Amino acid sequence: MAGDFDGGVTTLLVRVTGTVQGVGYRAACVQQAAALGVAGWVRNRMDGSVEALLQGAPEQVREMCDWMIDGMPAALVDRMEVEELAPPFARFDAFRQIPDA
């Protein structure tokens, strides 16, 4: 279940650019995050990028980042920017699509 972490918690703010809007990328992110047990959120940005906050065990978060780069055939990711957020941070219990920014 998302949000149930046995070890340490990693929280990353990720932005992907390329062909990531209009191809079902956010919905696929929600499904993949649920499958991996990653919590957080995903949203479109006005500049055409997609931004996500990923939270979970380090291995889960790494797998989600790997998937975000090349796991969805309809998307073409040109670049990924990753920022690790230091505690304290809010704890999420699920992964959701949130309103665009």
Range of the domain at 82: 10-97
pLDDT computed for residue 87 by the predictor: 81
pLDDT at 90: 85
**More confident of the two residues 58 and 8:** 58
Is residue 21 in some structural domain?
yes
Name the residue among 4, 1, 7 with its Cα closest to residue 59. 7
Instruction: Please check whether residue 5 lies inside any domain of the structure.
Output: no
pLDDT of residue 25: 97
Residues known to be catalytic: 26, 44
Whole-prediction pTM: 0.90
CATH number at residue 51: 3.30.70.100
Q: Is 4 a member of any domain?
A: no
Residue 97 has pLDDT above 50, yes or no: yes
Distance CA 93, CA 45 (A): 23
